[in-house]
Amino acid sequence: MRRPARAAGVLASAALLLPLFSAAPPAGAEAPRESALQGQFARAAARHGVPESVLLAVSYLQSRWDAHGGAPSVTGGYGPMHLTDAVTALTEAAPHHSEGEEDARGDSSRAVRSGAAVPVPVPAAESLPARLRTLERASVLSGIPAEELRTRTAENIEGGAALLAAAQRESGLPTSADPADWYGAVARYSGAEDSATATTYANDVFDVIRTGESRTTDSGQVVTLPAAPAVAPATGQVAALGLRPPATGPVECPRSVACEWIPAPYEEFGDGDYGNHDKANRPSSQSIDYIVVHDTEATWDVTLKLVQDPTYVSWQYSLRSSDGHVAQHLPLKDVGWHAGNWFVNAKSVGLEHEGFLTAPDSWYTEAMYRSSARLVRHLAARYGIPIDRQHILGHDNVPGTVTSTIKGMHTDPGPYWDWAHYFRLLGRPITPSAGPDAGVVTIRPDFGAHRPVYTGCVTAGEACAPHGSGAVRLHTGPSADAPLVKDIGLRPGGQDSTTGVNDTGARASTGQSYAVAERLGDWTAIWYLGQKAWFHNPRQEPTAVNARGLVLTPREGLASVPVYGRAYPEASAYPAGVPVQAVSPLPYQLLAGQRYVVGDRTPGEYYFAPVFDSSGHRVVRGQEEYYQIQFGHRVAFVKVADVRVSRA
């Protein structure tokens, strides 16, 4: 939802941290040298007396050993060691729910509040917490100039090793060759101010040490950390760090994440208006079927200020990029205003991740990915939510409620969120489940190697910095020269889709499953938004895996069936006093002969909650049932009575 005018003052007191974006590495950034990175870690570790496995594991949790061309992360961190220099990375931006005319609540029973964003000043460096200024200290400790720490990989690793060695000394511990003796130093490196977050971070680092890792970095170098399953760290060292105790509150988090309670207010503020969420009684009143992954388009401090503003919007959890710390804002029984679709809001949990979708190198840290995955696994087990892409949705997969809302739907977390890695962390890696002639494919390009060109990250029409992506581009024919498929909801005039980073009209993302329409050489066609859409899928470097699944098509005798953005009840289901919500189809058609992968089967439901007093809130449940389908980049719904289902 666009922020109301009365909430605009929130931004006046806080700055937004946002990386400075560029289509090329900054001037002076180091060109990669083949096979040099592993040696740089070894030399820095030896020079500072840090076990190499500790240095590698800390770097993996911060950057997965990527250098990102010298660009900063969402928290102003540079290089493989994520040395933070937030002031250098500052610029102005608008937070996640502040653009366009989007209604984050997604229900016409209340008026949409709107207002303009207010520019904010860049703060002084001394006003920022120490966790956002580690590059400055690394420069003092190592003697390496700050510019070199930002732009040169070897020097950045050296600076990180110096910070770890200093953390060990400050803990009064000897420079030991045993990784188990470095638990406290690792916890201190996180920059966390509380013991729970520091402990969770250190546990993740030592999990990487025990299990080992190997990957090809963004500079094309293979880095390997051999597994050391016998390492048993001295976890008691955290007690000596002087960190504040774990936050208390009615959090609903697994023990494996550090979680604090920062409540979103449920308050009235005049003219019958209230916010920023609705009281409910889930799952007794309605099942929780979805988890929606967002990015914040704002920094941590700004995100927390906004969710505590009763005139803004809300979600259940926020996740901090630097260390994976979690804040819960709503009881899970209540309904947040985050997805822009009231049907989805009423049946979902929203997770906001600190990040920016148009910044390919303002990376999401491994620490945040891991905390998020543990939280999602916990929620999925608690509510019986299947761990698949029909239920773990990006905000960019949530459909518009009616035709007029399609253009305003959000596009985060965008093509740079690594869904394949996320699902590996969720314990559900995306693997083939059928043979080469399967009737269903699941999108899964190699995230690091797959680098389609997007435009508009900085300037409209200009290419974004090259970066790995989990999305494939969809064409009208089996050729890269063929036009992109059209999305008549986004462009009613029939114009072609574009390569814009925020244009979801011709895009299929990792984990999404589609019915196969045709195969021709290195190209595969799927049914998508009522049309045949082709993507490049060579046998030697496939961008999809073959899969099993149920598919549906119009029942016999129907040339087409309508498609909906929400599964609302029939008019006769509404009791007196609850206005009937129109069952309004989207502008698309599901045509005879086309097939779409089936998700949930659900009765039509509508949660009536237009006023602050929740005593009159009602759940309306009808007899009409719907199937959820993967229709385009976003999911959609069709009536059960209109279709027939078969195995692909």
Q: 8: helix, coil or strand?
A: coil
Provide the 3-class DSSP secondary structure of residue 603. strand
Residue 316 · residue 108 · CB < 8 Å: no
Mean pLDDT of 574-584: 95
The mean per-residue pLDDT over the stretch 605-631 comes to 96
Mean pLDDT of 591-597: 98
Short-list 534, 351, 369, 547, CA closest to 447:
369
Nearby residues of 182 by Cβ (< 8 Å), 6 or more positions away = 50, 51, 54, 164, 168, 176, 233
Higher pLDDT, residue 266 or 358: 266
List the one residue out of 279, 547, 252 whose CA is nearest residue 381.
252
SS3 195: helix
The larger pLDDT score, comparing residue 23 to residue 297, is at: 297
In the predicted model, what is the mean pLDDT of residues 636-643? 98
pLDDT > 60? residue 397 = yes
How confident is the model at residue 102, as a pLDDT?
A: 60
Only one residue has tokens 């094309």, namely 220
- Measured between alpha carbons, how far is 568 from 281 in angstroms, rounded to an integer? 19
Kindly state the tokens that stand for 412.
């985060």
Calpha distance 23→8 (Å, rounded): 32
In the chain, what are the domains? 14-93+124-241 (1.10.530), 552-647 (no CATH)
Does the model's pTM come out above 0.75?
Answer: yes
- The runs of H, that is alpha helices, within 132-283 are 134-142, 146-151, 153-170, 183-189, 195-211
Q: Is 644 in contact with 553 (CB distance < 8 Å)? A: yes
pLDDT the model gives residue 269: 87
Has residue 277 got a pLDDT over 70? yes
Counting residues of the chain whose pLDDT is more than 70, the rounded percentage is 89
Residue by residue, DSSP assigns 244-292 as BPPP-SS----TTS-EEE-PPP-EE-STT-EESEE---TTTSS---EEE
Helix, strand, coil share (%) of the chain residues, nearest 5: 25, 20, 55
What one-character DSSP code corresponds to residue 70?
Answer: G
Q: Dihedral sign for Cα 128, 129, 135, 137, please.
A: positive
Q: Which amino acid is at 246?
A: P
**For range 636-641, the mean pLDDT:** 98
478-501 pLDDT, tens digit per residue, is 999 999 999 999 999 999 999 999
pLDDT at 94 over 70: no
DSSP 11: H
Residue 520 burial class via C-beta count within 10 angstroms: exposed 0-12, middle 13-18, buried 19 and up: exposed
What distance lies between CA 516 and its chain's CA centroid? 27
The 10s digit of each residue's pLDDT in 194-232 is 999 999 999 999 999 999 999 999 888 999 999 999 999
In order of 39, 83, 324, 404, 414, the CA distances from 53 in angstroms are: 13, 19, 21, 54, 33
In angstroms, how far apart are the furthest CA atoms of the chain? 79
- Is pLDDT of 629 > 60? yes
**Residue 214, beta-bridge partner list:** 224
Q: Which of 15-29, 242-256, 472-486 has the lowest mean pLDDT?
A: 15-29
**pLDDT averaged over every residue in the chain:** 89
DSSP state letter for 235: G
Element (H, E) at 545: strand 544-547
Please report, rounded to a whole number, the percentage of residues in the chain having pLDDT higher than 90: 76
Mean pLDDT to the nearest integer, 546-575 = 97
Lowest mean pLDDT among 298-307, 494-503, 559-568: 298-307
pLDDT band at residue 326, thresholds of 50, 70 and 90? Answer: very high
Residue 251 vs residues 206, 260, 277, 312, 419: alpha-carbon distances, Å: 26, 7, 17, 22, 26
Q: What is the 3-state secondary structure (H, E, C) of 395-451?
A: HHHCCCCCHHHCCCCCCCCCCCCCHHHHHHHCCCCCCCCCCCCCCEEEECCCCCCCC
Query: How many Å from the N-terminal Cα to the C-terminal Cα in the chain?
Result: 39
Lowest-pLDDT choice from 80-89, 340-349, 413-422, 457-466: 80-89
Determine the Cα–Cα distance for residues 389 and 553; give it in Å rounded to an integer. Answer: 20
pLDDT band at residue 4 using 50, 70 and 90 as cut-offs: very low
For residue 532, what is the enclosing H or E element?
Answer: strand 531-536
Q: Which two tokens stand for residue 551?
A: 């598919």
Q: Is residue 121 predicted with pLDDT exceeding 80? A: no
Of the two residues 248 and 174, the one the predictor is more confident about is 174
Q: How confident is the model at residue 32 (pLDDT cuts 50, 70, 90)?
A: very low
